[in-house]
Amino acid sequence: MSLSAAEDDSRSEIHIPADIDWHMLDKSKFFFLGAALFSGVSAALYPIVVLKTRQQVSSAQISCSKMSLSIMRYEGLRGFYRGFGTSLMGTIPARALYMGVLEVTKSSVGTATVRLGFSDTTATAIASAAAGLNSAMAAQLVWTPIDVVSQRLMVQGYNNSNSCKNAISNVHSCRYKNGLDAFRKILYADGPRGLYRGFGISILTYAPSNAVWWTSYSLAHKLIWGGIGCSMGKKDETGVIDGSGFKPDSRAVVAVQGLSAAMASGVSALITMPLDTIKTRLQVLDGEDNGVRRPMTVLQTIRNLVKEGGLSACYRGLGPRWASMSMSATTMITTYEFLKRLSAKSQDSLSS
Question: Of 146-150, 262-266, 319-323, where does the model show the most confidence?
Answer: 146-150
* pLDDT beyond 50 at 1: no
Whether 94 is in a domain gets the answer yes
> Which pLDDT value is given to residue 173?
61
pLDDT band at 9 (very low <50, low <70, confident <90, very high): very low
* pLDDT beyond 50 at 8: no
Q: What total of structural domains would you count in the chain? A: 1
- pLDDT tens by residue, 284-316: 887 766 666 777 788 888 888 888 877 788 888
> Which pLDDT value is given to residue 21?
62
> Which pLDDT value is given to residue 124?
81
Whether 187 is in a domain gets the answer yes
* pLDDT beyond 80 at 166: no
Q: What angle do CA 158, 140, 286 make, to 5 degrees?
A: 35
Range 115-138 average pLDDT? 86
Whether 93 is in a domain gets the answer yes
CATH number of the structural domain spanning residue 199: 1.50.40.10
pLDDT band at 171 (very low <50, low <70, confident <90, very high): low
Range 127-137 average pLDDT? 88
pLDDT band at 5 (very low <50, low <70, confident <90, very high): very low
Whether 6 is in a domain gets the answer no
Cβ–Cβ under 8 Å, residues 6 and 121: yes
> Which pLDDT value is given to residue 43?
85
Percent of the chain at pLDDT exceeding 90: 1
3-class secondary structure per residue, the chain: CCHHHHHHHHHCCECCCCCCCHHHECHHHHHHHHHHHHHHHHHHHHHHHHHHHHHHHCCCCCCHHHHHHHHHHHCCHHHHHCCHHHHHHHHHHHHHHHHHHHHHHHHHHHHHHHHCCCCHHHHHHHHHHHHHHHHHHHHHHHHHHHHHHHHHHHHCCHHHCHHHCCCCCCECCCCCCCHHHHHHHHHHHHCHHHHCCCHHHHHHHHHHHHHHHHHHHHHHHHHHHHHHHHHHCEECCCCCEECCCECCCHHHHHHHHHHHHHHHHHHHHHHHHHHHHHHHHHHHEEEEECCEEEECCHHHHHHHHHHHHCHHHHCCCHHHHHHHHHHHHHHHHHHHHHHHHHCECCHHHHHC
> Which pLDDT value is given to residue 168?
54
- Among 89-98, 141-150, 282-291, which is the least confidently predicted range? 282-291
Whether 207 is in a domain gets the answer yes
User: What range defines the domain where residue 272 resides?
Assistant: 27-231+248-343
For residue 288, the cross-strand partners are 293
Task: Kindly report the pTM of this predicted structure.
Answer: 0.65
Please give the mean pLDDT across all residues of the chain: 77
Whether 241 is in a domain gets the answer no
Range 72-85 average pLDDT? 88
* pLDDT beyond 80 at 193: yes
Whether 120 is in a domain gets the answer yes
> Which pLDDT value is given to residue 3?
34
pLDDT band at 331 (very low <50, low <70, confident <90, very high): confident
Range 83-111 average pLDDT? 85
Comparing 193 with 170, the larger pLDDT belongs to 193
Cβ–Cβ under 8 Å, residues 78 and 47: no
> Which pLDDT value is given to residue 22?
61
Range 88-104 average pLDDT? 83
* pLDDT beyond 50 at 10: no
Whether 5 is in a domain gets the answer no
pLDDT band at 169 (very low <50, low <70, confident <90, very high): low
